[in-house]
Amino acid sequence: MGRNLYILAGTFGLLAIVAFVLSISRFSASSPGDASLWRVTGIGLLFVALLCTLGGVMSSLFEQAERRHEEERRKVREARRQ
């Protein structure tokens, strides 16, 4: 699951970069409000990308903690049997 969140965060990050480039370029300068709209869109996409990255990191950490806890329980069981 963590890998999927990283891919999603990368996609949102790329779209945020595209939105920032469009905000500073004269390609979308048909009206003065377009540049600020692209900037706000870029900031929003960047925020969503950061949230997805945080979700991926937390998911990976919890999976690792669960794996280590299971290994520790297995070792304790083996020690009790012997």
What's the pLDDT score for residue 29? 57
Query: Is the pTM above the cut of 0.75?
Result: yes
The answer to whether 45 and 52 have CB atoms below 8 angstroms apart is no
Side-chain-side CA neighbours of 10 within 13 Å: the count stands at 6
Domain that holds residue 20: 2-81
Number of domains in the chain: 1
The answer to whether 63 and 69 have CB atoms below 8 angstroms apart is no
What's the pLDDT score for residue 74? 93
Name the helix (H) or strand (E) containing 40: helix 32-81
pLDDT along the chain (82 residues), means of 10: 90 95 74 81 96 95 94 92 82
